[in-house]
A and B are shown apart, each in its own frame.
Chain A
Amino acid sequence: MSYDRAITVFSPDGHLIQVEYALEAVKKGTTAVGVKGKDVLVLGVEKKSTAKLQDPRTVRKIVQIDDHICMTFAGLTADSRILINKARFECQSYKYYYEDPIGVEYITRYIAKTQQKYTQSVGVRPFGVSTLIVGYDSKGFPKLYQTDPSGNFSSWKASCIGRSEKPVKEFLEKNYVDEMDEEQTVRLTIQSLVEVVESGEKNIDIAIMRKNKPIEFLGRTRIAEIVKEFEEEKKRKEEED
């Protein structure tokens, strides 16, 4: 009997092969980065280059789950839609019962729980999606969480998912500093993406989540400005060397 076919069952060496294959699907998806600053959260995504005749505005990778929570994902877009819909519903459902806005960790647990359910149910396959969830907790601290197809979730200072996960994570580990202000956090996010995104700043989307404010998508011109500044700095360093 082949242990990696159809439903998720254990292989002889204790692996859930389907889940691991799902992680492979995530590794094929476009990169998504999340960085936590002192009192700001920044999400950056690599946008898949759209075909000439395609309307680029319909491909949105950073989505709002509730007024105070945003998420992005890497992997199968259609699978992510299901998770996003469920999460959105759960947020309103929570508010319906408890009158309070949902907590970031709560909704992360919910999404992770959902992903795990699909690794232990009949006739379904795991979600081929890892997610990055950002929001502020009840005490007002910024939080960044990551979930993956196995149903694991964890909190991060900065994280990356998708195809350029390794180089971007290394970059973040080298350059991340605690308690960054908004400007520094945005720069770090853009810088980490620019290194790996193929066609440069046109294919990057940056979203800033400030406390008690709606999410703001950084404009094209601003991103281009910052990228230009990096390139000039790089040139200067090379000239000095």
Chain B
Amino acid sequence: MDSLVGFVGKNYVLMAGDTNAGRSIMRLKDDFDKLVPIDSHKILAKSGEIGDGNQFCNLIIRNVSLYRIRNETELTTKSVAHYTRRQLATAIRKNPYSVNLLLGGYDKKDQKGSLYYLDYLGSSKKINYGAQGYAALFVGSILDRFWNEDLDFEDGLELMKKCLKEVEKRLIIGTRCFLIKMINSDGISVVEKVMINSEKKNEIEEEN
């Protein structure tokens, strides 16, 4: 039921997640932030079991902090991705975390953003664009068609909204509200909390 979308732009990373939190047929929360900041320039977008997501993200955040305090330097996105994957891989055959993640980060050294796809089985892949959850079924083709590596911020935001609109249109379970965050050299910022309204509703009103 979770939908997470992310892609890398010219010198930023754009990530979006739906803000629903529910159990079976009940929506428990409609302002749930699934894009968790690990440090000043990295976001871990979590999907799957809510409890597992919380615990696992906490674990990663604390260990990344510990590294920063111990070594007086921040980890790169690649390192965090590898570390996270290692934690998932060792857990899968003992006490699996049912979480699928998108890790987005901006590295000041390379002045580039990067995005990683991680899942509960312990796979990890560096991607330019991707999604987790049901969104992956719908946005893959849109991003294949319209993504390019020189997307500036306005075009990127438009593309993201295009993706989210498609998710809202096609996913039978109502996920209208999405939170979009951006990571660039200045850090993490909340771009927008979008409420996507399907066009079809307007058509019905007009008929009457």
* Contact present for A95 and B65 (CB under 8 Å): yes
A-contact 0/1 string along B52-72, CB 8 Å cutoff: 000000110011011001101
* Contact present for B59 and A96 (CB under 8 Å): yes
Complex interface residues of chain A between 171 and 196 (CB less than 8 A to chain B)? none
Range for the number of chain A residues in contact with chain B: 10 to 19
B-contact 0/1 string along A82-99, CB 8 Å cutoff: 000100110111011000
* Contact present for A88 and B70 (CB under 8 Å): yes
Which residue on chain B has the smallest CB distance to residue A88?
B69
* Contact present for A91 and B69 (CB under 8 Å): yes
Q: How far is the CB of A70 from chain B (nearest CB, A)?
A: 11
* Contact present for A92 and B66 (CB under 8 Å): yes
Given the complex, which residues of A lie within 8 Å of B66, measured CB to CB?
88-89, 92
* Contact present for A92 and B65 (CB under 8 Å): yes
Range for the number of chain B residues in contact with chain A: under 10
Complex interface residues of chain A between 68 and 117 (CB less than 8 A to chain B)? 85, 88-89, 91-93, 95-96
Which residue on chain A has the smallest CB distance to residue B64?
A92
* Contact present for B69 and A96 (CB under 8 Å): no
Q: How far is the CB of A52 from chain B (nearest CB, A)?
A: 26
A133, B126: Cα distance in complex, Å: 42
* Contact present for B62 and A64 (CB under 8 Å): no
* Contact present for B70 and A96 (CB under 8 Å): no
Q: How far is the CB of B120 from chain A (nearest CB, A)?
A: 21
Given the complex, which residues of B lie within 8 Å of A25, measured CB to CB?
none
Q: How far is the CB of B57 from chain A (nearest CB, A)?
A: 11
* Contact present for B62 and A93 (CB under 8 Å): yes
* Contact present for A96 and B62 (CB under 8 Å): yes
A91, B69: Cα distance in complex, Å: 10
Given the complex, which residues of A lie within 8 Å of B62, measured CB to CB?
92-93, 95-96
Given the complex, which residues of B lie within 8 Å of A93, measured CB to CB?
62
A31, B58: Cα distance in complex, Å: 39
Q: How far is the CB of B198 from chain A (nearest CB, A)?
A: 38
8 contacts between A and B (CB under 8 A): A65-B69, A85-B70, A88-B66, A88-B69, A92-B63, A95-B62, A96-B58, A96-B62
Seed contacts A64-B69, A65-B69, A88-B70; 14 additional CB < 8 Å A-B pairs: A64-B72, A66-B69, A67-B69, A88-B69, A89-B66, A92-B62, A92-B63, A92-B65, A92-B66, A92-B69, A93-B62, A95-B62, A96-B59, A96-B62
